[in-house]
């Protein structure tokens, strides 16, 4: 059973979950962000959700705690449990069921006065009835209307409330895929809880689960983009332990196919350009007014997008655009190499020079973003050039250092 203490702020849960399971489990002595008692409380809470996935290893320094999730067995993201463990007061529970009992029929609309009369009539049947004032009920109705559970209609000076009609739940295969692959997949996970037990048809070789903790932030960002509004972001630099506020125009969410990290591409007046923000570094996001620059910035982004390899929109050398090209040679039995180049080239071009030779070229804002990908072709690269000479020299020096490390000798 989940730890029953009330969760007032999910951002705190998000922080602890990262500190314990994403950046490495910290001991009671190592964690200095809160008191020892808070550490113990939050650790017990997380263990109650993720106990089935926790593993321990003893080392000379002590016991190491970590998460171990086998994607062949666990088809669903266990971190969604954090979103489903919210607890409620007795008053919340009582009012919730009384209200939806009163508004059970979606064709019936009632005013706050009529709803209060119905509440008094129903709770009068209990031996120790809980009383609710009109202000509390009105706030709860407003909350449910904001969540999309109720609809409101103003007639004259009165507001009528009615329950939203039930919608058909999508096919379980759709929900299985959505919940594990797409942003805000926690929504699909909640819907899956309403379906009957079924056979899972999807398994994921690369299952990026930590994005689950950013679901609330993503929901706000998507709403702002849909409504073309600016937002105020609070981002944290964990190395410097510094929080920065930025007023930006959100444009698009991008997800790394390599790491699963999620980024917001946004125009930041502070930097006078479109830049990226990692969603796991966003502490809070507040939606502001509709932006008159939204359409203009979206067109600017679509114009520069063909020259963005990852999410960086600036070059190491400070140039507007950087160039990189390299040639690879492969064996007769390595036809997967040219196929891979074609599949992963993104905004680059692949030129077939012969039966066993290809050249890749790209003009991008930040050529350094290609380095990790280019390294996967080491031992087949015969020639490589960067417009950023310092970057090219560093790449070749890294190869020489690798030769020396393995005692191979030779020139890069």
Contacts 24+ apart (CB under 8 A), 294-302: 294/228, 294/229, 294/230, 294/249, 294/251, 295/228, 297/249, 297/251, 297/267, 298/251, 300/267, 300/274, 301/251, 301/252, 301/265, 301/267, 301/274
Length of the chain: 412
DSSP 40-105: HHHHHHHHHHHGGGEEEEEETTEEEEEE---TTT--S-GGGGGGG-----HHHHHHHHHHHHHT-S
pLDDT on residue 316: 46
pLDDT of 264 = 96
Which SS3 state, helix, strand or coil, does residue 115 take?
Answer: helix
The pair of structure tokens assigned to 244 is: 């920065």
What's the token pair of residue 138?
Answer: 């009105």
| C-alpha 25, offset from chain centre | 21
Query: What is the chain's pLDDT, residue by residue, as a tens digit (412 residues)?
Result: 444 445 556 777 777 777 666 666 666 666 666 666 776 777 777 777 777 777 777 777 666 677 777 777 778 888 888 888 766 777 888 888 889 999 888 888 999 999 999 888 888 777 777 788 899 999 999 989 988 889 999 888 899 999 988 778 889 999 999 999 889 999 999 999 888 888 888 888 788 888 888 998 999 999 999 999 999 999 988 777 788 999 999 999 999 888 889 999 999 998 888 999 999 899 999 999 999 999 999 999 999 899 999 898 876 444 578 999 999 999 999 999 999 999 999 999 999 998 899 999 999 999 999 999 999 999 899 999 999 999 999 999 998 898 888 887 655 5
pLDDT at 4: 46
φ, ψ dihedrals at 99, nearest 5°: -60, -45
pTM of the shown model: 0.78
Nearest 5°: the CA angle 33, 37, 38 is: 50
């Amino acid at each position: 059973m989940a730890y029953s203490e009330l969760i007032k702020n999910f951002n705190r849960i998000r922080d602890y979950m990262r500190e314990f399971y994403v950046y490495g489990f910290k001991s009671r002595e190592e964690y200095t962000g809160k008191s020892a008692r808070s550490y113990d409380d939050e650790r017990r809470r997380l263990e109650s959700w993720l106990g089935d996935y926790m593993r321990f290893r003893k080392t000379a320094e002590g016991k190491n705690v970590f998460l171990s999730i086998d994607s062949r067995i666990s088809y669903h993201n266990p971190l969604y449990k954090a979103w489903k463990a919210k607890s409620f007061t007795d008053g919340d529970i009582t009012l919730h069921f009384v209200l939806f009992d009163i508004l059970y029929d979606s064709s019936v609309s009632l005013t706050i006065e009529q709803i209060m009369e119905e509440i008094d009539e129903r709770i009068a049947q209990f031996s120790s009835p809980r009383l609710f004032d009109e202000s509390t009920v009105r706030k709860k109705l407003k909350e449910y209307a904001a969540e999309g559970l109720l609809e409101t209609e103003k007639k004259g000076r009165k507001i009528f409330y009615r329950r939203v009609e039930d919608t058909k739940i999508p096919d379980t295969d759709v929900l299985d895929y959505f919940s594990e692959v797409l942003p805000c997949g926690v929504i699909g996970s909640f819907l899956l809880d309403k379906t009957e037990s079924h056979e899972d048809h999807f398994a994921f070789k690369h299952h990026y689960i930590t994005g689950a903790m950013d679901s609330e932030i993503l929901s706000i960002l998507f709403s702002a983009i849909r409504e073309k509004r600016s937002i105020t972001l609070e981002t944290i630099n964990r190395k410097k332990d510094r929080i920065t506020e930025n007023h930006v125009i959100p444009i698009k969410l991008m997800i790394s196919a390599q790491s699963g990290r999620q980024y917001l591409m946004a125009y930041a007046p502070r930097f006078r350009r479109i830049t990226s923000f990692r969603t796991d570094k966003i502490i809070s996001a507040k939606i502001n007014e509709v932006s008159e620059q939204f359409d203009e910035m979206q067109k600017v982004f679509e114009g520069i997008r063909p020259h963005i390899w990852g999410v960086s929109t600036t070059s190491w050398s400070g140039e507007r655009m950087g160039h990189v090209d390299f040639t690879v040679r492969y064996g007769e039995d390595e036809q997967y190499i040219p196929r891979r180049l074609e599949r992963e080239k993104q905004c680059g071009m692949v030129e077939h020079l012969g039966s066993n030779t290809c050249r890749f070229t790209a003009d991008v804002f930040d050529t350094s973003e290609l380095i990790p990908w280019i390294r996967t072709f080491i031992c087949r690269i015969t020639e490589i050039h960067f417009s950023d000479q310092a970057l090219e020299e560093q790449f070749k020096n890294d190869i020489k250092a690798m030769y020396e490390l393995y005692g191979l000798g030779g020139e890069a």
